[in-house]
Amino acid sequence: MEIDVGVIGATGFTGGEIVRLLHFHPKVNLTYVTSRKLMGKYVSSRNPNLRTITNLKYESYSVEKAKEKCDYLFLCVPHTVSQDMVPPMLEAGLKVIDLSADYRLKDKELYKYYYKKEHTSPEFLERSVYGLPEIHRSEIKSADLVAVAGCHAASAIYALFPLIKEDLILLDKIIVDSKTGSSGSGAEVSESSHHPIRANSIRPYKMTNHRHTAEIEQELAIAIRDKNKKNLINVGFSAHAVNILRGILSTCHVFYDKSNKIDEKVLFKCYRSVYKDEPFVRMIKQASGIFRLPDPKIIAGTNYVDIGFELDPHSNRIVVLSTLDNIIKGAVGNAIQCLNIMINIDEKTGLEFPGFFP
């Protein structure tokens, strides 16, 4: 049995990519694709990779039309926009998977601080489920509103969650240095994303106060066994723009107490205990070859997240590397994985494909 699905705001990079993946999903009937700017035009006019693949045209959006055509909606609108759209969708009985940041944070004051706007529907913040399947699988299954994790946040959380769950590291000394490709800037053109400016550069663009910090701290707090220590989580997050198209590489520096007997066997056991049954999480730590540790080149175009580590006894430090495709595993891949969980099918459906090499 197929379900009817719509994509609202389908002209951005995430919208176009989710249309591509849903087109080949065996349990999905893509019935409704919207755009305010391109109404009446073929989807392939915006996404030329879909020429001859689909004859879908962009339509106007209304909640009435969405209810008539769809059971589930993927919401690919900008941050601060979906908070006004979601309540009528839920009232109409639709199930929503929101790829914006509007329902990720549970604290409306944190949302206001990072997004510089009062949340217009804060009563739905607790109702939403954070869209990271490996951590929130059971809640996603019964959710009617899923807020897909941010790409930088997802990369950091995947790297750090097991270490905190197993109580191996200090909670107040967590540093995440994240590097992202140009597609992370979105489809709208700006001076900072202009090729002559972006190319051949490693540009620090948000060294402190990055809005994904709140997501990372919120989700890592879930892993803390001692509930009295939840307020001790402190993450220093910095982001750089680098000269690649797709991918994020997060290099996480964490520290452990000298009394903790930590070696590589302990670390492997830690990650296996959390991720051993996860189909899209891979541990990468090879003794030979070119790509011995996670590299964005290898996961581009896939729904995998690759995690590796190096142990530094000299400074009681663990360096954890986590890489994912910011558009797929950092956005639409996780969104489709959440959909699969919600409709109770194999969550790998429509997502089992490797990347390109070279």
Which domains, and CATH codes, for the chain? 3-127 (3.40.50.720), 152-325 (3.30.360.10)
Structure tokens at 78: 């900008």
Task: Give the list of residues 6+ apart from residue 201 with CB closer than 8 angstroms, or none.
Answer: 241, 242, 243
In this prediction, residue 186 carries a pLDDT of: 58
Q: What angle do CA 184, 357, 328 make, to 5 degrees?
A: 30
In this prediction, residue 172 carries a pLDDT of: 93
Q: What is the pLDDT along the chain (358 residues), one digit of tens a residue?
A: 799 999 999 998 899 999 999 999 999 999 999 999 899 999 999 999 999 999 999 999 999 999 999 999 999 999 999 999 999 999 999 999 999 999 999 999 999 999 999 999 999 999 999 999 999 999 999 999 999 999 999 999 999 999 999 999 999 999 999 999 866 655 566 676 777 777 787 888 889 999 999 999 999 999 998 877 878 899 999 999 998 889 999 999 999 998 888 999 999 999 999 999 999 999 999 999 999 999 999 999 999 999 999 999 999 999 999 999 999 999 999 999 999 999 999 999 999 999 888 8
Please list the active-site residues. Answer: 151
Closest CA to 179 of 65, 73, 294, 343: 294
Instruction: Identify the DSSP state of 330.
Output: I
The pLDDT tens digits of the residues spanning 273-304 come to 999 999 999 999 999 999 999 999 999 999 99
Sheet holding 3-8, edge to edge: 28-33, 3-8, 72-75, 95-98, 145-148, 129-131
Q: How far apart are CA 29 and CA 170, in angstroms?
A: 47
